Amino acid sequence: MATGLRRPRRRTAKDDGPDPVDIHVGRQVRLARELNALTQVEVGKRLGMSFQVIQKYEQGEIRVSASRLYQLARLFERPVEFFFAGLDGTQLPANEGDFGRREVELVRAFRVIANPDVQQRLLQLIRGVAEQPTDGAGALAGLVPGSKG
């Protein structure tokens, strides 16, 4: 056995903070919860745990076990892969992939629309506004009744 060779120091949450993968998975748990319009308390009750545990999962403070991740996926009606979407194994920039409150509200409202034609027109409107170089007011012409380009 060679002397002087040491194993690399193991990464610990206490010394190094939460692992970037745990942070990413936690953010995805929060996103899935918000898209399902559930509170941390409601998720905790459905899984038989406190809301504080859900909160710690979402913040990446504690790791989500494989069995718990499977339960979360079933509760949120998402594939397990959803929680790893956008993860490529490198350090994640801060706020990468985070949805703002308005974005989550937009998705929730869109899902409530039962008419696929209305959904399609709304999607066209949003894309048109997003493609405008300034304030997007010109995209409203022809898409919203009574609007003037």
Give me the residue spans of the domains in the chain.
17-84, 101-140
Per-residue pLDDT tens over the stretch 42-97: 999 999 999 999 999 999 889 999 999 999 999 999 999 989 988 875 433 444 45
Residue 121 has a pLDDT of 92
How sure is the predictor about 9, in pLDDT bands with cuts at 50, 70 and 90? confident
Most confident of 6-10, 70-74, 122-126: 70-74
Higher pLDDT: 12 or 112? It is: 112
- Burial of residue 72 (CB within 10 Å: 0-12, 13-18, 19+) is buried
Q: How far is CA 34 from CA 10, 27, 37, 140, in A?
A: 34, 11, 5, 29
Cα separation, 1 vs 62, in Å, equals: 37
Question: In the CATH hierarchy, which fold is given to the domain comprising 17-84?
Answer: 434 Repressor (Amino-terminal Domain) (1.10.260)
Cα separation, 83 vs 81, in Å, equals: 5
Q: In the predicted model, is pLDDT for residue 5 greater than 70?
A: yes
Residue 138 has a pLDDT of 56
Per-residue pLDDT tens over the stretch 32-57: 998 888 999 999 999 999 999 999 99
How sure is the predictor about 103, in pLDDT bands with cuts at 50, 70 and 90? confident
**What's the rounded mean pLDDT across residues 93-116?**
73
What is the separation, in whole angstroms, between the first and last Cα of the chain? 79
Q: Would you tell me how many other CB atoms lie within 10 Å of the CB of residue 69?
A: 19
